[in-house]
């Protein structure tokens, strides 16, 4: 479901790969990095301006680690990790309600979710010493000893299954499911969480999954807030202290790569709705690809830059065909999809598809103009400080650097590297990555054009 | 969201009434507002030298509010206009929102799309939002480019101009927006019908996006007239937050907005909602798997930070909503969505608190499999009755207050959130420090007050219930053969 939802995000998603650091530092953003004895890698940007702290702990335990028959395992494991804590020593067990009350009483929040690649735990708390101490202690208990209560899972499974069935009544969901199957084939990025796969998941499966992935030696911990390095080091130790220590940290099994599409494919699904939903795309590239920055800049021009992109200009501004039209890449540890998305009145679907395809084909074949590249660089480079002007944005950027093993000065060199990209670089990168002749096109709910 | 034309679900009433109105959302929606301007443009801003907001008023009547935050070299400009769907009349519903779209379509000096291109070149992000009570426009930019976007925004405020052809194209975009947000979204349709039933004379009767039939007949001049009527300096507030100095912003405001001629704000007809003489029920049939039910109770709105019977009750109702639904494990969660015989998959509560028009306290729920909307309705009302009968605990009261106080600290992390709060407070006529003062007021709400409002406002006669009746899609439905002739009808 998360993956489906990801298809629906609007254009700034296209900038998600951008570093967002902290407005706190303008010229350079000093990220402190160290490795703890237990193997956890810590990344810190002190931000003393507001008495608050944000912490994100990332583990290689995202959806890509789901078994096919248990699609959704990572997501429900993260969700259920917030549904109760087992007794530990003198500390009594807490059920989901006691836990919710405890966090509310602290004015703090803590939770986990799973994306395609990562399982992320996020803590936001005030740094008043008494509150901070309690919040860290509670988060540590929750990380160490989630109780995965079976009766709560029964209930949550029913709720999730009902919401999946509800979502399938919407044209956007139907389009997203068909699209992901077609683009990813049997790669885990394309696994669909269904009532059936949820039925195949037990709390024992969650406990195994959790124990096998949420380990100190695999943790990437990012912190932004009003704490010093010694304080940060101590609190990260405490957060992870209850997890079993690992001797060494054997690599997790490799996950296969996404396979390129062999041929173009058109999927038309009849559907009775006020709009037709259109998705066009193919596997893109992994985040580690050296073309990443050129593709980021290029996609801003093609369909990521809000009102000023080619797709918006042609589909929305010139023809009034769609409220939302955009393109985006979703690079992860594997080749996440490149996707063009739009919605339009059913009888306009064919026209909108034709326009979008033409814009895409022209861009891949011809690349951007120098003027377009200059305008895009102006936006991304001038706007760079906007990506770093809050603790929350800074945390996202630090965690991005941590997760993708980027250099610590990544943010400091970003604008200079962006400035060096040329129209030829973008054209070459798009030609390497995209083939408009081998794309999936999903159209849900089209009608023939009226007479 | 780089798409500069959203109906703002994130500000004001729409969000506050959502299924899961978060505490922050409620406060954001209820917070802030614009104090009657007390300073002249050149005069003493009385705020301290720290980072508190300062307020000025230009000679032409425009309010200017500046909130310095020097953590990062960025700034946000928001222009708030006290005109939204609330100011529309029958037959042209949706015109405030269409105007928001058309504000991107040019001025005497700028061609269509040029505004956005220039903001983009400056490194800016921009968007706009329309709600019942207001319309807002914003750009986030590197602080050094603030004067540039102030020049752009003041230009389109005063000189918005576009062709009938541009209007015709953009109107189709707006219709697509309505199809996406409402017509293909059964719960949005349900909310639309709920408001239409709960309010008869109040403009809240009509959806912000407009009825499709009204959009079909909307004319370019309807939009121009709305702009001419309501976009006057005395009906707007410029809010700037970020790495700026108030005096400098004021000087730039004089230079850009200051030249716009003063005009009188047109008379506003109050259009009060008549007393509701009895319970109302509406049903919506739409393609869905799950039913849903919304219960809307008429409640007082908060009109100021000072104590008064209505203001006190409005605050107590907000505390009541938080006790019901403010955190994981709050009362609605426990009573409706847990246990072997649970009735609901989801349940929520929210209090409108502030607005230019009458306010609602909403309860909402989605039945669990095998349960009915009627059972959910009864269970929701039983939880309010339980508080009316037995009151709330000291721990619950302390808990929701702790959350509000913490949320005020977290809000300081976002200059956008700060500007949003200041702007929406101005729209509602609340003072510059309304957020802090409302938190202080909330901290004084007693358990007895919460119990009293639970007793007072949740009878049958002030209630409107909207129920979604899920319909299967016709399995034999197929696209019709061309040519179908007339334009396609919408499905709902």
Residue of A nearest to B175 (CA): A323
User: What does residue B304 show for φ and ψ, rounded to 5 degrees?
Assistant: -175, 170
Q: Do B169 and A319 touch (CB under 8 A)?
A: yes
Query: Which pLDDT score is estimated for A28?
Result: 66
Among A1-15, A46-60, B126-140, B276-290, the range scoring the smallest mean pLDDT is: A1-15
Is the pLDDT score of A25 beyond 90? no
Residue of A nearest to B119 (CA): A379
Kindly state the DSSP code that residue B482 receives in the 8-state scheme: S
Helix (H) or strand (E) holding A202: none
Query: Which pLDDT score is estimated for A209?
Result: 98
How far is Cα B465 from Cα B462, in angstroms, rounded to an integer? 10
Contact, A22 vs A396, CB < 8 A?
no
Considering CB atoms only, which of A104, A306, A320 is closest to B3?
A306
Is the pLDDT score of A314 beyond 70? yes
Q: Do A306 and B2 touch (CB under 8 A)?
A: yes
Considering CB atoms only, which of A274, A308, A388 is closest to B117?
A308
- Tokens standing for B1? 């969201």
Q: Do A155 and B4 touch (CB under 8 A)?
A: no
* DSSP-assigned letters across all residues of B234-248: GGEEEEEEES--HHH
Q: Do A274 and B123 touch (CB under 8 A)?
A: no
Residue A258 confidence class, pLDDT cut points 50, 70, 90? very high
Q: Is residue B375 helix, strand or coil?
A: helix
Distance from CA of A208 to the nearest CA of B (A): 26
Residue A24: its chain B contacts at CB < 8 A?
A: 71-72
How far is Cα A171 from Cα A352, in angstroms, rounded to an integer? 17
Taking the mean position of all CA atoms in its chain, how far away is CA B112? 28
Query: Which pLDDT score is estimated for A192?
Result: 97
How far is Cα B71 from Cα A392, in angstroms, rounded to an integer? 13
Mean pLDDT of chain A: 93
Kindly state the DSSP code that residue A14 receives in the 8-state scheme: G
Query: Which pLDDT score is estimated for B477?
Result: 79
Contact, A219 vs A59, CB < 8 A?
yes
Residue A344: its chain B contacts at CB < 8 A?
A: 176
- pTM for the whole thing? 0.91
Distance from CA of B111 to the nearest CA of A (A): 13
User: What does residue A424 show for φ and ψ, rounded to 5 degrees?
Assistant: -65, -40
Tell me if the bond preceding B483 is cis, omega within 30° of 0.
yes
Q: Do B172 and A320 touch (CB under 8 A)?
A: yes
Provide mean pLDDT across the span B185-204: 98
ipTM for the whole complex: 0.92
How far is Cα A304 from Cα A326, in angstroms, rounded to an integer? 6
Mean pLDDT of chain B: 89
Q: Do B1 and A308 touch (CB under 8 A)?
A: no
Pick among B69, B94, B123 to test the A interface (most A CBs inside 10 A): B123
How far is Cα B375 from Cα B380, in angstroms, rounded to an integer? 9
Distance from CA of B412 to the nearest CA of A (A): 7
Query: Which pLDDT score is estimated for B29?
Result: 25
Q: What is the pLDDT of residues A395-420, one digit of tens each?
A: 999 999 999 999 999 999 999 999 99
Instruction: Quote the strand ranges of A219-289, DSSP E.
Output: 220-225, 265-269, 276-285
Burial of A269 (0-12, 13-18, 19+ CB in 10 A): middle
How far is Cα A65 from Cα B477, in angstroms, rounded to an integer? 39
Query: Which pLDDT score is estimated for B8?
Result: 34
**Nearest residue to B11 via CA among B105, B73, B85:** B85
Expressed in percent and rounded to 5, the helix, strand and coil fractions of chain A are: 50, 20, 35
Whole-number Cα distances in Å, A52 to A129, A230, A397: 11, 16, 18
Whole-number Cα distances in Å, A121 to A399, B198, B259, B399: 12, 42, 52, 23
Residue B338 confidence class, pLDDT cut points 50, 70, 90? very high
Kindly state the DSSP code that residue A292 receives in the 8-state scheme: H
Residue A306 confidence class, pLDDT cut points 50, 70, 90? confident
Considering CB atoms only, which of A10, A96, A379 is closest to B120?
A379
Q: What is the pLDDT of residues A416-433, one digit of tens each?
A: 999 999 999 999 999 999
Q: Do B328 and A158 touch (CB under 8 A)?
A: no
Q: Do B412 and A274 touch (CB under 8 A)?
A: no
- Tokens standing for A274? 């006020």
Percent of chain A with pLDDT over 70: 93
- Tokens standing for B440? 């202080």
How far is Cα A312 from Cα A305, in angstroms, rounded to an integer? 9
Taking the mean position of all CA atoms in its chain, how far away is CA A334? 13
Instruction: Work out whether the CA dihedral B226, B229, B233, B236 comes out positive or negative.
Output: negative
**Nearest residue to A217 via CA among A404, A63, A36:** A36
Q: What is the pLDDT of residues A339-365, one digit of tens each?
A: 999 999 999 999 999 999 999 999 999
Is the pLDDT score of A147 beyond 90? yes
Q: Do B327 and A392 touch (CB under 8 A)?
A: no
Angle CA A377–A383–A388, to nearest 5: 130
Query: Under 8 Å CB-to-CB from B231, ≥6 apart: which residues?
Result: B81, B83, B157, B158, B160
Residue of A nearest to B492 (CA): A274
| Tokens 């850009």 found at | B256
How many CB atoms sit inside 10 A of residue A346's CB?
Answer: 27
Is the pLDDT score of A26 beyond 80? no
Q: Do B289 and A165 touch (CB under 8 A)?
A: yes
Which residues are A263's β-sheet partners?
Answer: none
| CA count, 13 A, side-chain hemisphere, A433 | 34
Query: Which pLDDT score is estimated for B118?
Result: 97
Burial of A15 (0-12, 13-18, 19+ CB in 10 A): buried
Q: Is residue B224 helix, strand or coil?
A: helix
Q: Is residue A21 helix, strand or coil?
A: coil
Residue B9 confidence class, pLDDT cut points 50, 70, 90? very low
**Pairing, β B463-471 against β B292-299:** antiparallel
| CA count, 13 A, side-chain hemisphere, B462 | 17
Residue A11: its chain B contacts at CB < 8 A?
A: 1-3
Residue B326: its chain A contacts at CB < 8 A?
A: 104
How far is Cα B321 from Cα B363, in angstroms, rounded to an integer? 9
**Nearest residue to A142 via CA among A107, A94, A104, A106:** A94
Residue A347: its chain B contacts at CB < 8 A?
A: 484, 487-488
Annotated active-site positions of B, please?
Answer: 100
Whole-number Cα distances in Å, A285 to A4, A254, A300, A336: 19, 17, 16, 6
Provide mean pLDDT across the span B291-304: 98
Pick among A84, A176, A385 to test the B interface (most B CBs inside 10 A): A385
- Tokens standing for B35? 């104090």
Is the pLDDT score of A71 beyond 70? yes
Which residues are B67's β-sheet partners?
Answer: B241
How far is Cα A393 from Cα A157, in angstroms, rounded to an integer? 33
Distance from CA of B274 to the nearest CA of A (A): 35
Distance from CA of B288 to the nearest CA of A (A): 6
Query: Which pLDDT score is estimated for B146?
Result: 98
Distance from CA of A249 to the nearest CA of B (A): 35
Contact, A30 vs A211, CB < 8 A?
no
- Tokens standing for A436? 């408009």
Residue of A nearest to B481 (CA): A448
Q: Is residue B67 helix, strand or coil?
A: strand
Q: Do B142 and A82 touch (CB under 8 A)?
A: no
Residue A450: its chain B contacts at CB < 8 A?
A: 482-488
Among A244-248, B276-280, B311-315, B416-420, the range scoring the smallest mean pLDDT is: A244-248
Which residues are A57's β-sheet partners?
Answer: A121, A221
How far is Cα B280 from Cα B194, in angstroms, rounded to an integer? 9
Among A97-101, A373-377, B25-29, the range scoring the smallest mean pLDDT is: B25-29
Q: What is the pLDDT of residues B356-388, one digit of tens each?
A: 999 999 999 999 999 999 999 999 999 999 999
Distance from CA of A217 to the nearest CA of B (A): 31
Residue A84: its chain B contacts at CB < 8 A?
A: none
* DSSP-assigned letters across all residues of A70-86: GTTHHHHHHHHTTSEE-
Q: Do B176 and A318 touch (CB under 8 A)?
A: no
Q: Do B415 and A389 touch (CB under 8 A)?
A: yes
Distance from CA of A290 to the nearest CA of B (A): 25
Provide mean pLDDT across the span A210-229: 97
How many CB atoms sit inside 10 A of residue B370's CB?
Answer: 9
User: What does residue B53 show for φ and ψ, rounded to 5 degrees?
Assistant: -75, 150
Is the pLDDT score of A175 beyond 70? yes
| Tokens 């339009």 found at | A344
Helix (H) or strand (E) holding A198: helix A195-199
Residue A49: its chain B contacts at CB < 8 A?
A: 71
Q: Do A317 and B184 touch (CB under 8 A)?
A: no
Considering CB atoms only, which of A97, A389, A451 is closest to B484?
A451
How many CB atoms sit inside 10 A of residue B483's CB?
Answer: 11
Angle CA A74–A77–A82, to nearest 5: 140
Query: Which pLDDT score is estimated for A311?
Result: 97
Q: What is the pLDDT of residues B31-55, one digit of tens each?
A: 222 233 333 333 333 333 347 999 9
Residue B82 confidence class, pLDDT cut points 50, 70, 90? very high
Considering CB atoms only, which of B176, B402, B403 is closest to A345?
B176
Please give the residue that has the higher pLDDT: either A145 or A249.
A145
Residue of A nearest to B328 (CA): A100
Q: Is residue A447 helix, strand or coil?
A: coil
Is the pLDDT score of B197 beyond 80? yes
How far is Cα A1 from Cα B357, in angstroms, rounded to an integer? 38
Residue A126: its chain B contacts at CB < 8 A?
A: 406, 409
Contact, B380 vs B332, CB < 8 A?
yes
Q: Do A104 and B117 touch (CB under 8 A)?
A: no
Angle CA A83–A84–A88, to nearest 5: 160
| CA count, 13 A, side-chain hemisphere, B140 | 25
User: CB contacts < 8 Å between A and B, how many?
Assistant: 267
Pick among A323, A355, A395, A447 to test the B interface (most B CBs inside 10 A): A323
How far is Cα B16 from Cα B116, in angstroms, rounded to an integer? 30
**Nearest residue to A447 via CA among A277, A276, A325, A316:** A276
**Nearest residue to B411 via CA among A391, A396, A399:** A391
Q: What is the pLDDT of residues B241-269, one digit of tens each?
A: 999 999 999 999 999 999 999 999 999 99
How far is Cα A175 from Cα A189, in angstroms, rounded to an integer? 16
Considering CB atoms only, which of A108, A158, A346 is closest to B369?
A158
Residue B481 confidence class, pLDDT cut points 50, 70, 90? low
Contact, A23 vs A233, CB < 8 A?
no
Residue A171: its chain B contacts at CB < 8 A?
A: 184
User: What does residue A255 show for φ and ψ, rounded to 5 degrees?
Assistant: -105, 135
Q: Do A450 and B484 touch (CB under 8 A)?
A: yes
Is the pLDDT score of A329 beyond 60? yes
Considering CB atoms only, which of A23, A155, A158 is closest to B71?
A23
């Amino acid at each position: 479901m998360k993956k489906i939802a990801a298809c629906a995000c609007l254009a700034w998603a296209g900038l998600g790969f951008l570093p967002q650091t902290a407005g706190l530092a303008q010229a350079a953003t000093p990220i402190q990095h160290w490795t703890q004895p237990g193997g956890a890698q810590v990344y810190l940007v002190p931000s003393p301006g507001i008495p608050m702290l944000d912490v994100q702990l990332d583990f290689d335990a995202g959806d890509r680690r789901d078994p096919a028959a248990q699609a959704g395992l990572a997501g429900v494991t993260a969700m259920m990790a917030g549904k109760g804590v087992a007794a530990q020593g003198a500390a009594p067990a807490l059920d989901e309600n006691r836990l919710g009350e405890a966090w509310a009483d602290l004015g703090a929040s803590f939770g986990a979710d799973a994306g395609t690649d990562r399982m992320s735990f996020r803590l936001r708390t005030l740094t008043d010493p008494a509150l901070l101490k309690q919040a860290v202690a509670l988060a540590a208990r929750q990380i160490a000893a989630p109780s995965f209560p079976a009766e709560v899972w029964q209930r949550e499974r029913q709720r999730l299954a009902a919401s999946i069935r509800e979502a399938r009544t919407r044209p956007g969901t139907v389009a997203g499911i068909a699209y992901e199957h077609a683009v990813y084939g049997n790669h885990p990025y394309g696994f669909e969480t269904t009532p059936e796969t949820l039925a195949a998941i037990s709390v024992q499966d969650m406990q195994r999954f959790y124990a096998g992935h949420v380990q100190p030696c695999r943790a990437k911990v990012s912190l932004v807030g009003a704490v010093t390095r010694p304080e940060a080091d101590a609190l990260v130790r405490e957060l992870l202290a209850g997890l079993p220590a690992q001797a060494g940290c054997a690599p997790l099994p490799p996950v296969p790569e996404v396979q390129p599409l062999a041929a173009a494919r058109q999927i038309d699904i009849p559907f009775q709705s006020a709009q037709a939903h259109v998705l066009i795309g193919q596997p893109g590239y992994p985040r580690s690809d050296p073309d990443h920055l050129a593709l980021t800049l290029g996609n801003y021009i093609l369909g990521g830059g809000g009102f000023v992109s080619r797709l918006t200009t042609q589909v929305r501004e010139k023809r009034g065909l769609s409220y939302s039209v955009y393109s985006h890449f979703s690079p992860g540890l594997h080749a996440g999809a490149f996707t063009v998305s739009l919605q339009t009145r059913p009888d306009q679907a064919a026209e909108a598809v034709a326009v979008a395809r033409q814009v895409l084909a022209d861009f891949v074949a011809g690349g951007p103009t120098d003027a377009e590249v200059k305008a895009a660089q102006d936006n991304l480079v001038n706007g760079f400080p906007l990506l770093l002007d809050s603790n929350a944005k800074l945390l996202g950027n630090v965690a991005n650097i941590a997760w993708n093993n980027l250099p610590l000065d990544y943010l400091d060199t970003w604008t200079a590297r962006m400035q060096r990209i040329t129209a030829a670089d973008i054209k070459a990168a798009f030609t390497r990555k995209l083939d408009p002749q081998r794309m999936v096109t999903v159209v849900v709910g089209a009608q023939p054009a009226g007479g | 969201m780089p798409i500069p034309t959203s109906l703002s679900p994130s500000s004001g009433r729409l969000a506050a009434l959502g299924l899961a109105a978060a505490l922050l959302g409620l406060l954001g929606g209820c917070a802030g507002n614009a104090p009657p301007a007390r300073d002249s443009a050149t005069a003493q801003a009385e705020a301290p030298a720290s980072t508190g907001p300062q307020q000025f008023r230009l000679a032409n009547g425009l309010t200017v509010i500046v909130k310095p935050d020097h953590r990062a070299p960025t700034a946000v400009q928001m222009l708030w206009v006290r005109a939204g769907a609330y100011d529309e009349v029958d037959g042209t519903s949706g015109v405030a929102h269409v105007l928001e779209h058309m504000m991107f379509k040019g001025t005497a000096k700028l061609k269509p799309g040029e505004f956005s291109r220039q903001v983009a070149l400056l490194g800016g992000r921009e968007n706009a939002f329309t709600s019942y009570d207001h319309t807002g426009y914003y750009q986030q930019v590197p602080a050094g480019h603030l004067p540039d976007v102030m020049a752009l925004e003041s230009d389109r405020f005063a000189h918005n101009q576009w062709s009938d052809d541009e209007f015709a194209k953009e109107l189709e975009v707006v219709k697509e927006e309505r199809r996406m947000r409402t017509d293909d979204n059964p719960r949005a349709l349900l909310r639309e019908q709920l408001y239409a039933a709960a309010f008869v004379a109040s403009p809240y009767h009509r959806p912000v996006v407009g009825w499709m039939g009204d959009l079909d007949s909307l004319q370019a001049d309807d939009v121009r007239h709305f702009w001419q009527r309501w976009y006057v300096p005395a009906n707007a507030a410029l809010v700037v937050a970020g790495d700026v100095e108030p005096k400098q912003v004021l000087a730039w405001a004089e230079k850009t907005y200051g030249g716009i001629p003063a005009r009188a704000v047109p008379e506003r007809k109050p259009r009060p909602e008549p007393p509701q003489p009895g319970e109302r029920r509406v049903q919506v049939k739409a393609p869905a798997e799950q039913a849903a039910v919304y219960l809307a109770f008429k409640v007082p709105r908060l009109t100021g930070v000072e104590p008064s019977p209505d203001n006190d009750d409005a605050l107590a109702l907000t505390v009541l909503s938080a006790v019901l639904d403010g955190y994981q494990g709050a009362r609605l969660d426990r009573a409706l969505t847990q246990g072997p015989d649970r009735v609901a998959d989801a349940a929520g509560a929210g209090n409108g608190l502030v607005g230019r028009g009458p306010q609602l306290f909403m309860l909402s729920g989605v039945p669990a499999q095998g349960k009915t909307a009627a059972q959910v309705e009864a269970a929701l009302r039983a939880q309010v009755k339980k508080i009316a009968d037995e009151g709330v605990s000291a721990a619950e009261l302390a808990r929701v207050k702790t959350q509000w106080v913490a949320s005020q600290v977290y809000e300081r992390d976002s200059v956008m959130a700060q500007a949003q709060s200041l702007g929406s407070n101005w729209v509602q006529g609340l003072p510059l420090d309304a957020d802090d003062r409302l938190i202080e007021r909330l901290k004084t709400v007693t358990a007895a007050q919460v119990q009293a409002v639970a007793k007072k406002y949740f009878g049958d006669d002030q209630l409107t219930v909207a129920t979604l009746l899920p319909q299967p899609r016709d399995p034999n439905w197929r696209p019709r053969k061309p040519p179908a002739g007339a334009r396609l009808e919408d499905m709902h």
